[in-house]
A and B are shown apart, each in its own frame.
Chain A
Amino acid sequence: MNAEVKMMRTAAETQYSDALAALPGAEPVRALREKALRLFAEKGLPHRRVEEWKYTDLRVLLREMAPLAGKPDAAALAEAKKCDVLANVGAREITFVNGAFVAGLSNLKGLEKGLTISTLGDALKNDATLPQLLAGLNPGKYDAVFALNTAALNDGVVIDVAAGAQVTKPIHIRHIVTGTKPVSVFGRAVVKVGKKAQATILQSHAGPDAVAYQTNTILQLSVADDAELDVVRVQAEGDKAIHLSMMIGAIGTDSRFKSFALTTGAAVSRHTVPFAYSGRNARALISGATLLRGKQHADMTLEVDHALPGGESRELFKTVLDDESRGVFQGLIVVRPDAQKTDGRMMSAALLLGENAEMDNKPELEIFADDVQCAHGATTGALDDDLLFYLRARGIPKKDAESLLIQSFFGEAIENIENEKIRDAVMKRAGHWLAARG
């Protein structure tokens, strides 16, 4: 072992190891937990010299682990009930409060034909292949967020859409944190969409302002051949929260996938999207809008992996940075030797509103096939003075003129949400962000 690379364990690293090792758990969870903890003990939290975490140094940003959250009490449930993120869009809700599944705030009645929703515990009893899935799609690759999440496996949900099932009612996985004390909360959700099936998944994250809580949630998606999946995610954590999350996807032959992520919350957030084309001729659009202010730090990292021919990928991310906020976009498209005729286009555009705001844009292509079409672009700019003047010359006050331009900027990404109710709800949330601009 190289002594230079081995670093002193941070307080947070020790706290994670101790707290998670003390969690109860029968097999197979115990084995998963132990393996993840061994990996974590070896590799620890990433820092700026780890390429994928260059701009988001967790060793620095996450100094202490907040204590694990306890079971939600009546007050917590009452508080959670008020959460209105992505409410009223006609979805079936599955609610986690402080990491614990709450049946009373979930709707598992009258499930559509072919739809099965189980808690992680129940699913483990019935599905022998699940532990392998929970251990990770790409076991060779270490990711601290994934390792910690696996080590913390407890409550979670497994959503299974059987082959051919058309589930039109969106399924909304809600992660709500409550209370006034910093806590650590973990969550895992698995969504399996069978052949020729179709579903829409919503995921939301919310919690109180002014509380330095920490969340770590992972959404694992697999989309079988000829299937269709739409995902809309809203990260509206409280303003002092640290939010670590992943959306791990694998899509099969001739499948279609679409995702949109709105990020407005948390003091520090990192969302990693490892996304694999595990079939031919699959199409995916991965998009998002990130709206930041104050000293917020938000990192969006995509790793799109084309392993088979004919895949089409579109990535479109818009980041608006006010005040002294900091945005990170890392987007890697890998095209493996067999992935001929891949068509990939990735765009990340940032709008700097604050003089001290900063955006780090790192789009990358790694292409090992010769017959492909791939392009990426990254732009960073301020509001256009000429556009502003034109609007103001028509009587529109400065703030409103700015709002129109900012809205048109992020609206381009939001427009990709097909479901009108969900799109309107996301637009409205983004509108609240705009309205709160000082």
Chain B
Amino acid sequence: MALLEVKDLHARVEEKEILRGLDLKVNAGEVHAIMGPNGSGKSTLSYVLAGKDDYEVTGGSATLDGEDLLVLEPDERAAKGLFLAFQYPIEIPGVASMTFLRTAVNSVRKKRGEEELSTPDFLRLVRERAKELNIKDDMLKRPVNVGFSGGEKKRNEILQMALLEPKMCVLDETDSGLDIDALKIVADGVNRLRAKNRGFLVITHYQRLLDHIVPDVVHVMARGKIVRTGGPELAHELEAKGYAGYENAA
């Protein structure tokens, strides 16, 4: 059984059909990349998987470990092990980073039937993970993402991912807005989490992230569906030729 299985998924937002019969299968231990032109529906796919309200699923299915994802609330999906690193992480003024992280970690642990972490254990864990991602204490003292640079926000997404220990990680253009050093930190963070029981779906517009997070499978998405699937070499081909052939595909 695939870890993530998406079948003939159709979804729309504000009466506009964006996903038009998307099929995708990611097995545990695999890293898949989705590449595609802007506006092809990549972020929409990530939101639909994570359960954002504005998106209406009009057909098809999506399962995680064989369980129907689409009927679950966003927080239940997170507890089941789905994680979305947002393309645009938002600022949450007034909510302290540490409060947020602890509430998230303990909510998820509780739903998974694990014991909540004590404050010292939690602090130790956060410090350790934050250090690996070069996230300074000062950042964690601020409200969630408030005053963070673009790169800091992306690193903060990876920190959350590391703390929540998901089964299936969806990364939406985590490379955008990163300089090469930040890109390496983020890629190392992701690579550290690669594991036999964990799958990744790395959404990106550019091939450069895939030099650092080497995928097993590369998909091309255009106009709301997967139009081509290949190995890592497909990413290089797209980098060389661009998306010209795909803009009007499907």
Q: Report chain A residues within 8 Å CB of B50.
A: 389, 393
A411 within 8 A of B: yes
Q: How far is the CA of A143 from the CA of B92 in the complex (A)?
A: 42
Which chain A residues lie closer than 8 Å to B79 at the CB level? 395
Query: Contacts A389-B52, A404-B99 known; A394 to B104 CB distance under 8 Å?
Result: yes
Report which of B84, B92, B94 forms a contact with A393, defined as CB distance below 8 A: B84
What residue of chain A has the Cβ atom nearest to residue B145's Cβ? A390
Contact between B78 and A394 (Cβ–Cβ < 8 Å)?
A: yes
Could you say which of B52, B99, B104 contacts A395, with CB atoms under 8 Å apart? B104
- Give Cα A395 to B160, complex, Å: 11
Q: Which residues of chain A are near B53, meaning CB under 8 Å?
A: 385, 389
* In-complex Cβ contact of B94 among A385, A397, A409 (8 A): A409
Q: How far is the CB of A184 from chain B (nearest CB, A)?
A: 40
Residues 389-415 (chain A) with a chain B CB within 8 angstroms: 389-398, 400-401, 404-405, 407-409, 411-412
Chain B 78-118, CB-CB to A under 8 Å as 1, else 0, gives 11000010100110111100011001110110010000000
Given contacts A400-B103, A404-B103, contact A395 B78 (CB under 8 A): yes
A-B pairs with the 7 shortest C-beta distances? Answer: A408-B94, A395-B78, A395-B108, A394-B104, A392-B74, A392-B75, A395-B107
B95 and A395: CB pair below 8 A? no
A389-B52, A389-B53, A390-B86 as given contacts; A408 in contact with B75, CB under 8 Å: no
Name B95's closest neighbour in chain A (CB-CB). A408
Chain B residues whose C-beta falls within 8 Å of the C-beta of A408 in the assembled complex: 92-95, 143
Q: Is B103 in contact with A405, judged by CB distance below 8 angstroms?
A: no
Residue of B nearest to A405 (CB): B95
Task: Kindly provide the distance from the CB of B119 to the nearest chain A CB, expressed in whole angstroms.
Answer: 17
Within 8 Å of chain B (Cβ to Cβ): is A387? yes
How many residues of chain B get a CB closer than 8 Å to chain A's CBs?
Answer: 30
Considering the chains assembled together, what is the distance between the CA atoms of A314 and B100 in angstroms?
30
Chain B residue with the shortest CB-CB distance to A396: B107
**Given contacts A390-B90, A404-B103, A405-B92, could you give 20 more A-B pairs where the C-beta distance is less than 8 Å?**
A386-B90, A389-B50, A389-B53, A390-B92, A392-B51, A392-B74, A392-B78, A393-B50, A393-B77, A393-B78, A394-B108, A394-B160, A395-B75, A395-B79, A395-B164, A396-B104, A404-B99, A408-B143, A411-B94, A412-B94
**With a CB–CB cut-off of 8 A, which chain A residues contact B95?**
404-405, 407-408
Q: Contact residue range for chain A?
A: 20 to 34
Please judge, given known A-B contacts A385-B53, A389-B53, A400-B107, whether A394 and B92 are in contact too, CB under 8 Å: no
Please report A residues at the B interface, Cβ cutoff 8 Å. 385-387, 389-398, 400-401, 404-405, 407-409, 411-412
- Decide yes or no whether B211 CB sits under 8 A from chain A: no
CB B204 to nearest CB in A, in angstroms, measures: 20
Query: Is B73 interfacial (CB 8 A cutoff)?
Result: yes
Could you tell me if B94 and A387 are in contact, using CB atoms closer than 8 angstroms? no
Please determine whether A387 and B103 come into contact, CB atoms closer than 8 angstroms. Answer: no
Of A395, A398, A408, which is in contact with the most chain B CB atoms at under 10 Å from its CB?
A: A395
Shortest Cβ gap from B110 to chain A (Å): 9
Query: Is B75 touching A398 in the complex (CB atoms < 8 A)?
Result: yes
Min CB distance A51 to B, Å, is 34
Distance of B125 from chain A, by nearest CB (Å): 15
Distance in angstroms from A317 CB to nearest chain B CB is 16
| Residue numbers in A under 8 Å from B99 (CB-CB) | 404
* CA distance in complex: A394, B111 (Å): 12
Residues A389 and B74 in contact, CB atoms below 8 Å apart: yes
* B residues in contact with A398, CB < 8 Å: 73, 75
Q: How far is the CA of A397 from the CA of B104 in the complex (A)?
A: 9
Contact between chains at A396 and B73 (CB < 8 Å): no
**A-B contacts, 7 listed (Cβ < 8 Å):** A392-B51, A394-B164, A395-B108, A395-B164, A401-B75, A405-B94, A408-B92
Bound complex: CA of A413 vs CA of B53, how far in Å? 31
* B48 shortest CB reach to chain A, Å: 12
Contacts of B164 in A (CB 8 A): 394-395
Residues of A within 8 A of B74 (CB): 389, 392-393
Question: In the docked arrangement, what's the CA distance between A394 and B99, Å?
Answer: 13
Considering the chains assembled together, what is the distance between the CA atoms of A412 and B146 in angstroms? 15
Least Cβ distance of B247 to chain A in Å? 29
Quote the shortest CB–CB distance from A423 to chain B (angstroms): 15
In the complex, what distance in Å separates the CA atom of A385 from the CA atom of B55?
13
List the B residue with the shortest CB-CB distance to A403. B103
* Residues 216-239 of B contacting A (Cβ, < 8 Å): none
Hey, which chain B residues are within 8 Å of A397, CB to CB?
73, 75, 107
- Write out, one digit per residue, whether chain B residues 146-178 have a CB within 8 A of any chain A CB (1) or not (0): 000000000000001000100000000000000
Nearest neighbor of B89 in chain A, beta-carbon distance: A390
Which of A387, A396, A405 has the most CB atoms of chain B within a 10 A radius of its CB? A396
A404 to B74, CA, bound (A): 16
Q: Determine the distance from Cα of A424 to Cα of B107 in the docked complex, in whole angstroms.
A: 24
Collect the chain A residues with CB atoms within 8 Å of residue B103's CB.
396, 400, 404
The minimal Cβ–Cβ distance linking A49 to chain B, given in whole angstroms, is: 39
For residue A386, which residues in chain B have a CB less than 8 angstroms away from its CB? 90
Q: Could you say which residues of chain B place their CB within 8 Å of the CB of A400? A: 103, 107
